[in-house]
A = this chain, B = another copy of it.
Amino acid sequence: MLIIPILALMISVVILGGGNVATHLFKALNKSKESSVIQWYNRDLDRIKPYANTVPITDDLNLLVQADVYILAVNDDAIAKLSSELPFEDRLVVHTSGSVSIYDLDKKHKRGVLYPLQSFSKDSKIDFANVPICIETVDKKSYPLLKTLAVSMGSPTKRINSDQRKVLHLAAVFVNNFTNQLYRIGHEITESEGAEFDLLKPLILETAKKIQDISPFQAQTGPAKRNDKKTIKKHLKILENKQHQDIYELLTQSIQNTHGR
């Protein structure tokens, strides 16, 4: 059993990058008893200086120490170049992106992906129990270590392939960015008449809570599903913004396609 020595030892980690994902990963891994962040690299040292008395930091790739895994939590466009610049080979190097191919990592490394399926804000606290970590590896041997690492942060994990990661990232844009834009439009519409957006907040929360238990298909209600033409017409008349009208019509059609109207 190859995995026994891995599970028995503390996993040593070097984090590369200074953004939100890097910072939240640092905090979660630093708290964990099964892993230890032994070095933090960032091109711009100032961004990670606040952590300098907690972890050794560096801005020099040539000073990177030996570790079990190197986590590249950098911008999508920087992943390929940074991985090729790493002055070593045959070590486990992973990125954290939802949309970058695992093969964008330089092939001199053992390659993997740790894709945290959550939205990271700078200031908000993250409970990694609510951050599913999607794991992908080129060679099977790297998988157990990455799983142990994710579990050590308290995260649920799921082994996925590249195509699954791509669609999860795409679906995340729909349920996060696009949903948030619908909230924004709701904000604009209510404010246009001096009504309070706050009144909608319990409904927004309830809508998200509902599909934790039942499918979005089952959860659907409203004028589009009922094909309530009178209300739909009224709504289109109220909307002054042409783009909001287009969105209303397109999503109404989409609901009606889903529900066979």
Count identical subunits in the complex.
2
CB-CB under 8 A for A177 and B224, given A119-B207, A208-B208: yes
Chain B residues with CB below 8 A from A209, complex form: 205, 208
Considering the chains assembled together, what is the distance between the CA atoms of A205 and B171 in angstroms? Answer: 14
Query: Is A53 part of the binding interface, using a Cβ–Cβ cutoff of 8 Å?
Result: no
* Cβ–Cβ contact B247 & A250, under 8 A: yes
Q: Is the interface of A mostly helix, strand, loop or mixed?
A: helix
A182-235 residues at the B interface, CB under 8 angstroms = 182-187, 189-190, 192-197, 199-212, 215-217, 219-225, 228, 230-231, 234-235
Residue of B nearest to A132 (CB): B199
Q: Point out the residues of chain B lying under 8 angstroms from A185, CB to CB.
A: 171, 174, 254
Q: What B residues does A187 contact at CB under 8 A?
A: 171, 215-217
B205 A212 Cβ-Cβ under 8 A? yes
Inter-chain contact B202/A166, CB cutoff 8 Å = no
Q: How large is the interface on A (under 10, 10 to 19, 20 to 34, 35 or more residues)?
A: 35 or more
A176 with B216: CB separation less than 8 A: no
Please tell me which one of the listed residues B130, B167, B183 contacts residue A195 in the complex, with CB atoms under 8 A apart.
Answer: B167
Q: Is A139 an interface residue (CB 8 A)?
A: no
Tell me, yes or no, whether A66 is within 8 Å of chain B by CB: no
B199 adjacent to A134 (CB under 8 Å): yes
Is A181 a contact of B131 with CB atoms below 8 Å? no
| Contacts A158-B196, A174-B186 known; 20 new A-B pairs at CB < 8 A | A76-B231, A77-B230, A99-B231, A119-B210, A132-B202, A134-B199, A167-B189, A167-B192, A168-B195, A171-B190, A174-B189, A174-B247, A176-B207, A177-B222, A179-B204, A179-B207, A179-B208, A184-B216, A184-B217, A247-B251
Task: Identify the 8 closest CB pairs spanning chains A and B, nearest first.
Answer: A208-B208, A177-B222, A171-B186, A183-B216, A184-B216, A164-B195, A130-B202, A175-B186
